[in-house]
Amino acid sequence: MSAGAKKRIMREYGECLADTPPGMKINFDEQNMTKWEVLLDGPDQSYYAGGHFKLEINFPNEYPFKPPVVAFKTKIYHPNVSNDDKGSMCLGLLRPDEWKPPNKVVAVLRLIQTLLIEPNIDDAIEPSIANEYKENRKEFEKSAKDWVKRYAK
Amino acid sequence: MDSDDDFNSSQASQDEFMEDSGADFDDDSDLDMDDQDVGFESQDKDIKPTKQAYETEFKVFDPPQIQDSQDKQIAEVSNILVQPPEATAILLRHLRWNKERLIDQYMEKPEEVLENAGLGESSEANPPKITKVKGFMCDICCEDGSDLDTFAMKCNHRFCVDCYRQYLYTKIKDEGEAARIRCPGDKCNRVVDSKSLDLLVGDDLRDRYHELLTRTYVDDKENLRWCPAPNCVYAVECSVKDRELPRVVPTVHCDCGHYFCFGCSLNDHQPAPCGLVKKWLKKCEDDSETANWISANTKECPKCQSTIEKNGGCNHMTCRKCRNEFCWMCMGVWSEHGTSWYNCNRFEEKSGSEARDAQAKSRQSLERYLHYYNRYANHEQSAKLDKDIYLKTEKKMQQLQNSTGMSWIEVQYLDTASQALQQCRQTLKWTYAFAYYLARNNLTEIFEDNQKDLEMAVENLSEMFEKPIDQLQGLKVDMMDKTAYCNKRRIILLNDTAENLKQGNIFPSSLLFYWIINNATGNWEFIVSLT
Ligand SMILES: [Zn+2]
Ligand SMILES: [Zn+2]
Ligand SMILES: [Zn+2]
Ligand SMILES: [Zn+2]
Ligand SMILES: [Zn+2]
Ligand SMILES: [Zn+2]
């Protein structure tokens, strides 16, 4: 990774520290600055309230010309998070054709918080969960809350 | 299913070339003239007057010609829109090279078209340039300093030149983008024009960029398609539209020698329309396990059960042990082939009473499929074996030629024969997929007769390759006759299928009309819909 990219990541971390979005904690290791661990509280107004989610943000070598890669390390029942051991997300800013180099990680974190409150049904990675969210909200709510109890406490 | 071998089809297999040249080859004094004739004919093949019903008009473009036709269109539209060529190029790419639509839309709402194409307000003013700006900080790398080289397009999203370059490098090299690279500015949709790009990047990236632009040009144009042969750089132009594909099988012949279908880019699959080919390949894939055992290379003699291996393409088998002569495809007695009893190619439907219960019906439908699949796979396999044996023969002939001083042209007939065999087997192969989906009507019998005639002609020619080398020279005239006959039979079959695909109904001019008559495909009736 180039010196420029490292400088930029350091700077972004500084900005995040100064203005961390509420309900979020970032673990940063200067020895391994391309991998951030984020602890995220389920927003109060969401189905994930009361849950604590661990996320990993990985910066590719080409950062910031390519977007960071986000993975939920805590299982979550959500249309925009892959229901496998990767827990990956690939929408909006996180897509290479949407991401622009001036965009910042903090915008990604805000996007994730927003998605927990209101999933993006049109760009779902799990179509069956998206469909349930649309057609059978009660059932969706039950599973989402159930998973919070099981995995995110 | 299709092997790489199919890509080796070569220039020399023009049907008319083989048909007229038969007599000339016997006289050595005509040699020079022959060479001229061949050259003349291959140059003029685009405008040859005798177009067969199964042939489609097309034109092959090399890379400079592709660039040229692109530049011409840009220049033409640039004049009409009164926009610089760079902007015109972006506009054309934005509307996928639909010239008429671009001009219409632009005349109506120029600002909106420019905006949507990422060009913002009129881009005639100052050309883009690299500058230093006081108090600048790059929003990508966070560097600042008034000696930093910076760049911005008209949208004024300014970044340092290094970051701009790195951004373009990532887009072009890693993501293979060219025509629609947007400004790096947050949420900005302005497209990076080629003038700005030329200013920022070095030669190797610029070359790649233009290569990608050319790619998108061919990809975007409905009437252009890349030749799918490995490493081929040519594109083919053909006016056959997707909606016409149930009615015509547009085989084109690239200058690299490869025959392919303009409709679906697969290897030449005449006479079967693209829709049938797609269905057939899917079916073969789904049923591969049931059918696999059939295409195996060894079988037992139907009479004495000793194992027989097939080593040539010819289907006329003779058991080494009991001398039984039989047909590899149907395992029937060979003596019945080549006579009026020949019905190796036709599947005999059992009468209704025999196939009454569901199980019997499903067994019959499997048998029916296997009948056609067996013959389809067999011609594919035989084409490979034909080629193997030809290559061996050619090698031996060369040795013979060196020792006896025969001239090169005299063994050309073997190559010509081999080419014809490859092409005819390719056609035969697809006649079986075609026949599988064909519903019986008054035309089916003519089709099956044509298929049978071509098949017999092919087997006769194929058999000659199994003759000992020292006899081959004496069989030259015979072989050339058989080659010409094969080609003739192939043309008859293809013309018949093509004409009957086209005919019957008035050709649909509007899409609505097309949907109505969708399932009737000319005079043929198929058991499936072609779309
Ligand atoms: Zn910069
Ligand atoms: Zn911009
Ligand atoms: Zn080619
Ligand atoms: Zn096709
Ligand atoms: Zn035998
Ligand atoms: Zn047979």
Interface with A, mutate which of B136, B138, B140 (most A CBs under 10 A): B140
Please choose, from the candidates B187, B211, B179, B227, the residue with its C-alpha nearest in 3D space to the C-alpha of residue B9: B227
Crossing angle of helices B63-81 and B203-220, rounded to 10° = 80
Q: How far is B85 from chain A (nearest CA, A)?
A: 26
Cβ of A8 and B142 within 8 Å?
Answer: yes
Cβ of A65 and B170 within 8 Å?
Answer: yes
What residues of A act catalytically? 90
> Comparing A85-94, B33-42, B114-123, B459-468, which segment has the lowest mean pLDDT?
B33-42
Would you say A125 and A84 are in contact if contact means Cβ atoms under 8 Å apart?
no
> Comparing B136-145, B302-311, B319-328, which segment has the lowest mean pLDDT?
B302-311
> Comparing A50-64, B42-56, B65-79, which segment has the lowest mean pLDDT?
B42-56
Model confidence at B496: pLDDT above 80: yes
Please choose, from the candidates B388, B415, B391, B419, the residue with its C-alpha nearest in 3D space to the C-alpha of residue B297: B388
B210 CA → ligand 2 middle, Å = 22
Model confidence at B119: pLDDT above 50: yes
Partner residue facing B184 (CB), from A4, A11, A101: A101
Q: How far is A15 from chain B (nearest CA, A)?
A: 13
Q: Examine residue B517 and state whether it is found in any structural domain, yes or no.
A: yes
Model confidence at B155: pLDDT above 80: yes
- Chain B residue numbers touching A62 (CB-CB < 8 A): 170, 174
Percent of chain B with pLDDT over 70: 77
Q: Examine residue B35 and state whether it is found in any structural domain, yes or no.
A: no
Most confident of the ranges A7-11, B8-12, B332-336, B470-474: A7-11
Q: Would you state the pLDDT for residue B17?
A: 40
> Comparing A29-38, B320-329, B402-411, which segment has the lowest mean pLDDT?
B402-411
Active site residue B232: no
Domain boundary among B183, B203, B220: B220
Q: How far is B208 from chain A (nearest CA, A)?
A: 19
Top pLDDT among B125 and A29 is at A29
For residues A64-89, average pLDDT: 93
**SS percent in chain B: helix, strand, coil, step 5:** 55, 10, 35
For residues B18-44, average pLDDT: 40
| Smallest CA–CA distance from B187 into chain A, residue | A100
Please choose, from the candidates A138, A129, A150, A134, the residue with its C-alpha nearest in 3D space to the C-alpha of residue A50: A150
Report how many domains make up chain A.
1
Which domain covers residue B115, as residue numbers? Answer: 63-220
Supply φ then ψ for residue A144, to 5 degrees: -60, -45
B96 CA → ligand 3 middle, Å = 24
Tokens of B437: 């989906």
Say yes or no: A68 contacts chain B, CB-CB below 8 A: no
Percent of chain B with pLDDT over 90: 39
Q: Would you state the pLDDT for residue B7?
A: 52
Q: Would you state the pLDDT for residue B49?
A: 55
Numbered residues of chain B with Cβ closer than 8 Å to any chain A Cβ: 139-143, 159, 162-163, 166-167, 170, 174-175, 182, 184-188
Model confidence at B299: pLDDT above 80: no
Q: Would you state the pLDDT for residue B288?
A: 67
Q: Would you state the pLDDT for residue B407?
A: 65
Q: Would you state the pLDDT for residue B33?
A: 40
- Chain B residue numbers touching A97 (CB-CB < 8 A): 175
Q: How confident is the model at residue B159 (pLDDT cuts 50, 70, 90)?
A: very high
Which amino acid is it at B190? R
Which amino acid is it at B255? D
What is the 3 state secondary structure string of chain A?
Answer: CCHHHHHHHHHHHHHHHHCCCCCEEEECCHHHCCEEEEEEECCCCCCCCCCEEEEEEECCCCCCCCCCEEEECCCCCCCCCCCCCCCECCCHHHCCCCCCCCCCHHHHHHHHHHHHHCCCHHHCCCHHHHHHHHHCHHHHHHHHHHHHHHHCC
Residues 5-34 of A with CB under 8 A from B: 7-8, 11
Cβ of A7 and B142 within 8 Å?
Answer: yes
Q: Would you state the pLDDT for residue A90?
A: 83
Partner residue facing A102 (CB), from B143, B162, B185: B185
Q: Would you state the pLDDT for residue A123?
A: 85
Domain boundary among B173, B201, B220: B220
Model confidence at A59: pLDDT above 90: yes
For residues B271-291, average pLDDT: 84
Looking at all shown ligands, the one closest to residue B164's CA atom is 1
Q: Would you state the pLDDT for residue B380?
A: 93
- What is the per-residue pLDDT across B58-114, written as a single tens digit (0 to 9) for each? 999 999 999 899 999 999 999 999 999 988 988 898 888 999 999 999 999 998 888
Cβ of A102 and B139 within 8 Å?
Answer: yes
Q: Would you state the pLDDT for residue B30?
A: 40
Q: Would you state the pLDDT for residue A103?
A: 95
| Annotated active-site residue in B160, B314, B330, B424 | B314
d(CA A31, CA A15): 19
CB atoms within 10 A of CB B70: 20
Q: How confident is the model at residue B11 (pLDDT cuts 50, 70, 90)?
A: very low
d(CA B85, CA B100): 17
For residues A84-99, average pLDDT: 88
Model confidence at B365: pLDDT above 70: yes
Interface with B, mutate which of A6, A61, A98, A100 (most B CBs under 10 A): A100
Q: How confident is the model at residue B343 (pLDDT cuts 50, 70, 90)?
A: low
Would you say B190 and B155 are in contact if contact means Cβ atoms under 8 Å apart?
yes
Say yes or no: A95 contacts chain B, CB-CB below 8 A: no
Cβ of B174 and A66 within 8 Å?
Answer: yes
Partner residue facing A101 (CB), from B143, B167, B174: B167
Looking at all shown ligands, the one closest to residue B184's CA atom is 2
B332 CA → ligand 5 middle, Å = 13
Q: Examine residue B19 and state whether it is found in any structural domain, yes or no.
A: no
Would you say B385 and B311 are in contact if contact means Cβ atoms under 8 Å apart?
yes
Residue B379 class from Cβ within 10 Å (0-12 exposed, 13-18 middle, 19+ buried)?
buried
Cβ of B185 and A97 within 8 Å?
Answer: no
CATH of the domain at A80: 3.10.110.10
Q: How confident is the model at residue B190 (pLDDT cuts 50, 70, 90)?
A: confident
Model confidence at B487: pLDDT above 80: yes
Cβ of A62 and B174 within 8 Å?
Answer: yes
d(CA B407, CA B34): 15
- What is the per-residue pLDDT across B512-521, written as a single tens digit (0 to 9) for each? 444 444 445 5
Ion ligand 5: residues, CB within 5 A, are B 301, 303-304, 319, 321-322, 324
CATH of the domain at B493: 1.20.120.1750
Which domain covers residue A125, as residue numbers? Answer: 3-151
Partner residue facing B184 (CB), from A8, A66, A102: A102
- Chain B residue numbers touching A96 (CB-CB < 8 A): 175
- For residue B28, give Cα distances in angstroms to B21, B100, B315, B482: 13, 57, 36, 22
Q: Examine residue B448 and state whether it is found in any structural domain, yes or no.
A: yes
Looking at all shown ligands, the one closest to residue B240's CA atom is 4
- What is the per-residue pLDDT across B14-26, written as a single tens digit (0 to 9) for each? 443 444 443 443 4
Tokens of B494: 């293809």
For residues B335-340, average pLDDT: 65
Q: How confident is the model at residue B42 (pLDDT cuts 50, 70, 90)?
A: very low
Top pLDDT among A120 and B359 is at A120
Q: Would you state the pLDDT for residue B76?
A: 96
- Chain A residue numbers touching B152 (CB-CB < 8 A): none
Give me the total of CB pairs closer than 8 Å, taking one residue from chain A and one from chain B.
37
> Comparing B11-25, B118-132, B363-377, which segment has the lowest mean pLDDT?
B11-25
Q: How far is A140 from chain B (nearest CA, A)?
A: 33
Partner residue facing B170 (CB), from A7, A11, A66: A66
Mean pLDDT computed over every residue of chain B: 80
Q: Would you state the pLDDT for residue B277?
A: 95
Cβ of B175 and A97 within 8 Å?
Answer: yes
For residues B221-249, average pLDDT: 92
A8 CA → ligand 1 middle, Å = 10
Q: Examine residue B116 and state whether it is found in any structural domain, yes or no.
A: yes
Q: Would you state the pLDDT for residue B459?
A: 92
For residues A32-39, average pLDDT: 93
Domain boundary among B173, B188, B220: B220
d(CA B520, CA B529): 8
Looking at all shown ligands, the one closest to residue B9's CA atom is 3
- Chain A residue numbers touching B170 (CB-CB < 8 A): 62, 65-66
Q: Examine residue B71 and state whether it is found in any structural domain, yes or no.
A: yes
Q: Would you state the pLDDT for residue B45?
A: 45
Q: How confident is the model at residue B212 (pLDDT cuts 50, 70, 90)?
A: confident
